[in-house]
Amino acid sequence: MPQRVLVTGGTGFIARHVTRELQAHGYAVRATVRSATAALAEGVEVVRADLESDDGWAEAVAGCDHVMHVASPFPSSEPADENDLIRPAVDGTLRVLRAAEASGTVKRVVLTSSIAAIRIRPDRADPRVHTEADWSDLDHCAAYAKSKTLAERAAWDFVAESPRRVELVVVNPGSVLGPLDGAATSKTVEVVRRLMTREIPAPLRMALAVVDVRDLAVGHRLALESPRAAGQRYILAGGETWMPELARLLADEYNGRGFRVSTSTIPSGVVRFAARFASPLRVVLSLLDRRELVTSAKARAELGWAMRPLRETVVDTADSLIAEGFVTPRGARNQVPRRSR
């Protein structure tokens, strides 16, 4: 009998790729969804469960060997009350862990955290490369980073006090890009979509540590399978990439094909001023001019994890957005023919 893995938030961008990776390696997958009408990959067992309710979680984990807790709220703008984001992240994580412990069958939980729980420090220009030994300073975190930090800390505290000692492994992804694979959309690929549509008229002084969602899915599986991974956290992210560099990759590939991606940079002072009048901009204020220096050396050495080239990730993200109709070239309604690499 194949091992059964519960994947939370089954309709999400990351979860869809995790599910595909698990199925490709012989696992039986059960996925939680919030709506009974949600469509998932063939062969995936679907159960209803919501992170904000206890209902359905005992049934969701029943008979499962492992859990991948991928689901977590991700804001499109800074919430008026940070607890609107923090509470479901922390409570939902603990709800999943309690159900896993009570199941009597779950051996390991892989939790999807974020480098936002690692690299937020008072000094935005801090040149130090952050590792899994680091934790974000809550006093300098915006709501999302605080929610990921507190949820991960709550998970480690729970496991430390758990009488059954369910194994916990945490993966800390960077900015997740890559093909949508049927997901309705994803907040994490918005930076690419907005640069292509010029909703962001020009790139900001904002750094990203990009990870391809396909490589991230492999990292989840490796974290599940590696005996030495129990009790560890793993950064899954590439090197620092500033948004102007991302824009140049898009401009090189798509300008002249019906798109006009700007490669100039909006000064951070202008963004801060505009954010006083445009609330969606406030979510990026904490990220302006902040270094994004992390290393995935531990995941590479202990899990054998690897990443594909950044250009491949960026182009595949953009091609997916075009194919799904989220961005459209000027003067055309259909998909732009894919150019050879």
Q: For residue 229, what are the contacts with CB-CB under 8 A and spacing of at least 6?
A: 169, 222, 223, 302, 303
Cite the beta strand spans of the chain per DSSP E: 4-7, 28-33, 45-48, 66-69, 108-112, 167-173, 175-177, 207-212, 233-236, 240-242
From 107, 148, 187, 298, the catalytic residue = 148
Tokens of 310: 């950044």
d(CA 216, CA 29): 17
Number of other residues whose CB lies within 10 A of the CB of residue 335: 13
Helices 190-197 and 243-254: crossing angle in degrees, nearest 10, is 60
The size of the chain, in residues, is 341
Q: Answer yes or no: 107 catalytic.
A: no
Vertex 229 angle, CA 224 and 231, to 5°: 110
| Whole-Å CA distances, 330 to 112, 122, 179, 322, 336 | 38, 43, 22, 12, 10
Number of helical (H) and strand (E) elements in the chain, helices listed first:
10, 10
Q: Mark 175-188 as b/e (b = at least 16 C-beta within 10 Å).
A: bbbbbbbebeebeb
Q: For residue 131, what are the contacts with CB-CB under 8 A and spacing of at least 6?
A: 118, 235, 294, 295, 297, 298
Catalytic residues: 148
